[in-house]
Amino acid sequence: MRSEARNWEALLARLFVDPPLRARFRVEPEVVGREFGLDERAMVSLGTIDWAGLDLAAESYSNKRAQRAAS
């Protein structure tokens, strides 16, 4: 897998489980993207993030983790 794809996956995985990072990403996506090693082409695509979908997925994953922890 290309390094760029791994960087995107790492960023998305963290955004799903790390609310403070997700909040910071919403305010300064380019800064966070650079911290995760995204290149210029990827930085352009940050503007197309589906914020509602990201928040919904993060909430769903959080609920699933909480259910597992309660079991």
pTM of the model: 0.79
Q: What's the farthest any 2 CA atoms get from each other in the chain?
A: 44
**Burial class of residue 33 (count of CB atoms within 10 Å of its CB; 0-12, 13-18, 19+):** buried
Q: Which DSSP state fits 47?
A: G
pLDDT in the model for residue 39: 87
pLDDT the model gives residue 38? 92
71 residues of the chain, pLDDT tens digit each: 578 889 988 998 999 999 999 999 999 998 999 999 998 888 888 778 898 998 999 999 888 888 889 98
> Can you say whether residue 39 is alpha, beta or left, with left for phi > 0 and alpha for psi between -120 and 50 degrees?
beta
**pLDDT value of position 33:** 93
